Amino acid sequence: MIGMILQEQIFWTFFIITMIIVGIIVFVLYIKLLIWVYNDAQKRNMDELIWLLIVVVTGLIGLIIYLIVRDPLIAEKTEQPSKPKAPQPKPKAAEERDVKYCSACGSPVNEKADFCSLCGEKLK
């Protein structure tokens, strides 16, 4: 009789400890999910606090809605592989008045141009 009570107490002790550990793991994963939603919404220029609150309040349903309606990532400027450019010779002082140079590749461009005709870089 005493052995059976002792076994039952040991079982419930391990069960409670296991449930506490599982609860802590689920809580940590939930916090990581909330941090991911916040950062992902921020990267996509969406209102991160609103989406964070939606996921906190509605849980899995809010996460599914977020994943469906989220905006696409903002494309950052991608570098296109280009041929190595030889340094462009600097013109004489008389020619410098009408020409400016691309800050990216150093090629001469028209003073009124907005983009470099060689590499496509936006001119200042």
What is the per-residue pLDDT across 63-100, written as a single tens digit (0 to 9) for each? 999 999 998 887 655 555 566 666 666 655 545 556 67
Decide: residue 116, CB within 10 A, 0-12 exposed, 13-18 middle, 19+ buried.
buried
34, part of any domain: yes
Q: In the chain, helix, strand, coil percent, each to 5? A: 55, 5, 40
75, part of any domain: no
For residue 35, give its domain range: 2-69
Q: DSSP letters along 83-114, please?
A: PPPPPPPPPPHHHHTTEEE-TTT--EEETT-S
The verdict on 122 and 90 lying in the same domain is yes
The verdict on 63 and 7 lying in the same domain is yes
The verdict on 9 and 64 lying in the same domain is yes
Whole-angstrom distance, CA of residue 31 vs CA of residue 36: 9
31, part of any domain: yes
The verdict on 46 and 102 lying in the same domain is no
Q: What is the model's pLDDT at position 94?
A: 47
The verdict on 60 and 94 lying in the same domain is no
The verdict on 59 and 117 lying in the same domain is no
27, part of any domain: yes
What's the mean pLDDT when you consider all of the chain?
83
77, part of any domain: no
89 within 8 A of 96, measured Cβ to Cβ: no
Which positions ≥6 away from 76 have C-beta within 8 Å?
none
Scored b (16 or more CB within 10 A) or e, 18-50 reads: eeeeeeeeeeeeeeeebeebeebbeeeebebee
The verdict on 64 and 6 lying in the same domain is yes
The verdict on 62 and 101 lying in the same domain is no
Count of domains for the chain? 2
The verdict on 63 and 115 lying in the same domain is no
Report pTM. 0.53
The verdict on 8 and 62 lying in the same domain is yes
